[in-house]
Structure 1
Amino acid sequence: MTDLTLTVERTINASQQDVFNAWLNPDMLRKFMMPAPGMSVPAASSDPKVGGRFDLVMQAGDDQIPHAGTYKEIDPHERIVFTWESPFSVDDSMVTLIFAPKDGRTHVTLTHVRFADEQARDNHQGGWTGILEALGMQFS
């Protein structure tokens, strides 16, 4: 296990409040938590409070991949920190989202820490990039 880190950034054409809230809303999570084209999210739930959990299922073809986490920090409209639990993650894997206003839009910085190896980090880099692209499409 290593302390590899990745950061993905994207500016989204929506208010800081709307982009922040999308990450806590299960209906929105089903629309954008797709790391690759052709995937879907048939199930998502969220208890958006510190100590609350989220659960979602990403589906690729016939494969259903469970993902979950516990909210560690929720600073309204500015920051969300959660654990990341999946068949491909390691213990103490964490994701931090920072939301900042930028020219009437919202700049999102996603940082994910702790991966088993560089290949896992690189795979997640592509996945998070796809997720932020799908999120942006929800507001275009």
Structure 2
Amino acid sequence: MNTKKIHIESLIDASIAKVWDAYNNPNDIKQWNQASPDWHCPSSENDLRVGGKFKNKMAAKDGSFEFDFEGTYTEVTPLNSISYVLGDERTADISFQEQGNSTLISVDFDAETMNPEEMQKAGWQAILDSFKNYVEHK
């Protein structure tokens, strides 16, 4: 599969341990995993190990639409990186880098073909921005 990679990142004013935990704990994921205030994440399951699966339900707050965002981990290096494959064979690679008292999260993911790349980038970045806001105010 020769798919274009999309890159997003965010510098979070928190320790790498706090960032890693909030990124991977299902109770935290439900608090930050949405691209806009009219969406939410009512459920999250996360088995963070190679071969483990994750499933996050994304839903419009008005009940008009929902879907499960799910995949299987292919690489997990604690406090450093995570890679996974989605059900449609697209992949994502996430790195966590300590930068002083902050943590840089970088995400590279395969673009899908149904939506424009800029729209996909904006959506994933909005979720990462929601994560940043959540962690920095937790």
TM over 0.5: yes
Mapped partners of 1:56, 1:134: distance in 2: 15
Query: How many angstroms does 1:36 deviate by?
Result: 2.3
* Counterpart mapping for 1:1-140 below 5 A: 3-60=3-60, 61-62=62-63, 63-85=65-87, 91-116=88-113, 119=116, 121-140=117-136
Describe the SS at the equivalent of 1:69: strand
Residues 95, 110 of structure 1: 8 Å contact kept: yes
Residue identity matched to 1:67: F
Mapped partners of 1:49, 1:27: distance in 2: 18
Mapped partners of 1:128, 1:117: distance in 2: 15
Query: How many angstroms does 1:139 deviate by?
Result: 2.1
Query: How much is the aligned-residue C-alpha RMSD, in angstroms?
Result: 1.7
Mapped partners of 1:33, 1:96: distance in 2: 17
Describe the SS at the equivalent of 1:77: coil
Query: How many angstroms does 1:122 deviate by?
Result: 2.5
Residues 92, 114 of structure 1: 8 Å contact kept: no
TM-score (norm 2): 0.88
Stretches of structure 1 lacking an aligned partner (at least 5 in a row): 86-90
Q: Percent identity?
A: 23
TM-score (norm 1): 0.87
Residue identity matched to 1:106: T
Assess, with a 3 A threshold, how the Cα gap between structure 1 residues 118 and 38 changes in structure 2: closer, same or farther. Answer: closer
Mapped partners of 1:99, 1:80: distance in 2: 9
Assess, with a 3 A threshold, how the Cα gap between structure 1 residues 13 and 67 changes in structure 2: closer, same or farther. Answer: same
Stretches of structure 2 lacking an aligned partner (at least 5 in a row): none
Tell me the alpha carbon deviations over residues 21-49 of structure 1, each in whole angstroms, 9 at most, x when there is no partner: 22221111111111223210011111111
Tell me the alpha carbon deviations over residues 46-88 of structure 1, each in whole angstroms, 9 at most, x when there is no partner: 1111100011111113111111010111101010011234xxx
Query: How many angstroms does 1:118 deviate by?
Result: 6.0
Residues 30, 41 of structure 1: 8 Å contact kept: yes
